[in-house]
Homo-oligomer: A and B are copies of this chain.
């Protein structure tokens, strides 16, 4: 098994944090996105979408999409469970993963892609949309702050995939100045807690 990874890209960090939380040791191969190594015919044969991360299995097949890789590893190594175990837990974790992914991660990425200088040559930017995305992401931080006033972690008492997605999105958000507000004490408390876990350095 081998993970095609890119240390500077936000998406693969979900998978790296997940692997660390599972206590797994999976060899990685760094792919340089900057020099378009994800767009070579060789890499596109692994993932036609031309993105990292990609997990290469021992039979030579590939799994792309960070959360799909996490679900694969969860199925092989169920403990500690990061997607829930009972039907109610599974649904609740997925509900919060979806909320975080669409209302926070996608908006942080949308803001970055449409407003940041780094992306100027790389895609057709629409700065006005980047600002709408920024506002949406900031609005959702307030939802998370309210939630974390009632629960220890985002999906409830246990650390889950929803915390990993939110940690990745919030940490990457700094690049476009999307930050936890000073008065969002619950979200700050949570962010300190996830940031001192050994997986945070992944």
Q: How many copies does the complex hold?
A: 2
User: Are B143 and A48 interface neighbours, CB within 8 A?
Assistant: yes
Q: How far is the CB of A105 from chain B (nearest CB, A)?
A: 10
Q: A65-B95, A95-B63, A129-B129 are in contact. Are A71 and B90 (CB under 8 A)?
A: yes
A-B contact pairs, 28 of them (CB 8 A): A48-B146, A49-B99, A49-B103, A49-B143, A61-B88, A63-B91, A63-B92, A63-B95, A65-B94, A65-B98, A68-B91, A68-B94, A68-B95, A68-B98, A71-B90, A71-B91, A72-B90, A75-B86, A75-B90, A75-B91, A102-B106, A106-B106, A114-B129, A126-B128, A128-B128, A128-B129, A129-B129, A129-B132
Q: Which 6 A-B pairs have the closest CB atoms?
A: A75-B87, A129-B129, A72-B91, A68-B95, A68-B94, A65-B98
Chain A residues with CB under 8 Å of chain B are 48-49, 57, 61, 63-65, 67-69, 71-72, 75-76, 86-88, 90-92, 94-95, 98-99, 102-103, 106, 114, 124, 126, 128-129, 132, 143, 146
